Amino acid sequence: MEVIEHDILLVGGGGAGLRAAIAACEASPDVSVGMVSKLYPMRSHTVSAEGGAAGVARDDDSLELHIQDTLKGSDYLADQDVVEVFVDAAHKELTQLEHWGCPWSREPDGRVSVRFFGGMSVKRTWYATDKTGFHMLHTLFQTSLKYDRIVRYDEYFATRLLVRDGVCRGVAAFDLRTGEVKCFLGRAVILATGGGGRIFPFTTNAAVKTGDGMSLAYRAGVALKDMEFVQYHPTGLPGTGILITEASRGEGGHLKNKHGERFLVEYDYGVGDRAELGPRDMISRAEILEFEAGRGLRGPYGDYVHLDLRHLGEQKIDQRIPFVRELARNYVGIDPVWEPIPVRPVVHYMMGGVDTDVDGATPGVEGLYAAGEVACVSINGANRLGSNSLPECLVFGKRSGEAAVAYASQGASEGPREALVGQAQAEEARLDALRHKVGGEKIAQIRRELNSAMEQGCGVFREEDSMAACVDSVRQLKGRYADIGIGDSSRIFNTEIVQALELGNLLDVAEAVAVGALARRESRGAHTRRDYPERNDADYLRHSLVRFAADGPRLDYRDVTITRWQPQERKY
């Protein structure tokens, strides 16, 4: 078996992974970084982020305000010490991207322009028209090409962390092009694989968002934290789930029901004067309540509301949100200059993820780090504010890259080579067997049933019975997954094997989401229960932690870190 060695190993090459790789190179002149990614880095899902990235930039703004907005948005489940670190670094990281060439939109005087975003009390969202994630990702990827010390393993699928005695020293991954399993050894491993929105049927998330890193860490003994908090974005295109950016509301767009009413203004949904600039969880709930009141519009993909941009005018639409116009024209045949866009709530982001500290280090497994959507650090709590995720990738990608280098250079042992290679060889045997697996179950069928169970049980509104049924369904599907059959036994670019492994990861992530949701008997942020409609700080101002065990997940809790800001009623 080929053994490949680097000082630092990255799994994933999107916004967080690339930032971590660059930070590692800048932290030490001789560190070598191996970047294992199941796709070419510029294909990573960061590319689909549209509206912008938050960072304090103006005189009318302050770090204090960005912190307060983020905590309130999180429904006070974010760790306050971590949010302080995040907000302090976010604007510096966005400036760093500017220095690396990111084409931020500009003011006439040449300064970077900022726009309004939901739950942000002032303009602080930096943007590159409405392709912010695309430009950030390409800027990071292109900048990373400067460093010969970043060695990329593009289209390698990581299937197992190599951990011995609670210390992580590598990863087993196979090269899609040849099917060959390789043993990657390093003194620290950073997971930056993104979230797992594909556990749901209707999502903005790309096909690759299958929770791979969450499952890797979970199986290696790290807890998954706050997994029950799944963000529904209020404006997805019916059918495809393609995202229409929140910037369309930040720039002044209105949401309207079938009577043409701005329902956020006409009815009391708690967002008050903020209306379309309210946070995502509240607006998604309002849309569902409009549907239930019979005030939604009916389409082939269920109920929807209108996102009306007509009053912005063609010039502003083309200047500020041209991609919205392109997407609406292409995918629903609507030109927003002349007609409102049909939209509905769509699964967008996982607040939860791999439990980490402020440097990305995972408690319980030494040498393992995580950053970006895969991680729960936690700055997003029960509901992330739009435009905080891109700077999160940068801030915590950088911190974990630097922390991993510090750890690796401060006498981290090489690891028991024979034992680690042995684990990779066992993985090779497992994958060989999988390619020839005979069984009666089909991958696509299990995936569809999983998607349906999650939508039924863990949607915008939740209750005991449907969540319990969801937990049962996921367990049964896990059982049936053991009986899948593989039709393609070839080695070269076998995407059926990739899908089989991704489905295993989806099942792990889905179970953690459902188990966490069922146990949290309160409503907080994106976790809204009809049977427990109030927030309950006495019992649940705590992070949930789901741990892997052979006979089913174990759940416990950890207190939220409160420093200077006491939890208050969340009203806008």
Partner 1 sequence: METQTRKFEILRYRPEEQSEPEFRSYEVPCMPDWVVLDALNAIKDDIDPTLSHRWSCRMGVCGSCGMLVNGRPVLTCAAFVRDYEGTIRVEPLSNFPIVRDLVVELDDFVHKIQSVKPWIVRKLEKDVEQGEYRQSPAQLEEFKQFSMCINCALCYAACPVLASEPDFVGPAAIALGHRYNLDSRDEGNAERYDAMHGHNGVWSCSYANECSQVCPKHVDPAMAVNQAKLTGALQWTGILPKKSMT
Q: Answer whether 208's CB lies under 8 Å from 524's CB.
A: no
Which of these segments, 59-67, 72-80, 280-288, 325-333, binds partner 1 (CB under 8 A)? Answer: 325-333
- Least Å distance, CB 477 to partner 1, is 16
Whether 417 is a known active-site residue: answer no
Of residues 486 through 505, those in contact with partner 1 by CB under 8 A are 486-488, 490-496
Cβ-based burial of 107 (10 A; exposed 0-12, middle 13-18, buried ≥19): exposed
Distance separating alpha carbons of residues 306 and 276, to the nearest angstrom: 12
Distance separating alpha carbons of residues 373 and 57, to the nearest angstrom: 24
| Residue 436 touches partner 1, criterion: CB under 8 A | no
Tokens found for residue 158: 């990581």
| Residue 28 touches partner 1, criterion: CB under 8 A | no
Closer Cβ to partner 1, 138 or 527, answer by number? 138
Question: In this chain, which of 58, 146, 530, 554 binds partner 1, going by CB under 8 A?
Answer: 146
- Least Å distance, CB 98 to partner 1, is 4
- Please state, in angstroms and as integers, the Cα–Cα distance from residue 504 to each residue in 39, 159, 310, 428, following that order: 19, 10, 45, 17
| Residue 438 touches partner 1, criterion: CB under 8 A | no
Of residues 63 through 122, those in contact with partner 1 by CB under 8 A are 92, 95-96, 98-101, 103-112
- Least Å distance, CB 418 to partner 1, is 32
Distance separating alpha carbons of residues 346 and 419, to the nearest angstrom: 44
Which of the 8 DSSP states describes residue 223?
P
| Residue 390 touches partner 1, criterion: CB under 8 A | no
- Least Å distance, CB 559 to partner 1, is 34
Contact letters for partner 1, residues 345-384 (x by CB under 8 A):
----------------------------------------
Distance separating alpha carbons of residues 299 and 297, to the nearest angstrom: 7
Closer Cβ to partner 1, 135 or 187, answer by number? 135
| Residue 42 touches partner 1, criterion: CB under 8 A | yes
Whether 249 is a known active-site residue: answer yes
| Residue 439 touches partner 1, criterion: CB under 8 A | no
Whether the bond into 28 is cis, omega within 30 of 0 = no
Distance separating alpha carbons of residues 546 and 536, to the nearest angstrom: 20
| Residue 169 touches partner 1, criterion: CB under 8 A | no
Size, binding site for partner 1 by CB under 8 A: 59
CA torsion angle 54 58 63 68 (round to 10) = -70
Which of the 8 DSSP states describes residue 240?
T
- Please state, in angstroms and as integers, the Cα–Cα distance from residue 72 to each residue in 78, 377, 566, following that order: 9, 17, 10
Distance separating alpha carbons of residues 22 and 401, to the nearest angstrom: 8
Residues of this chain that interact with partner 1 (CB under 8 A) are 39-40, 42-45, 47-48, 92, 95-96, 98-101, 103-112, 131, 134-135, 138, 142-143, 145-146, 154, 177, 206-208, 239-240, 242-243, 300, 326-327, 330-331, 443-444, 486-488, 490-496
Q: Return the active site residues.
A: 233, 249
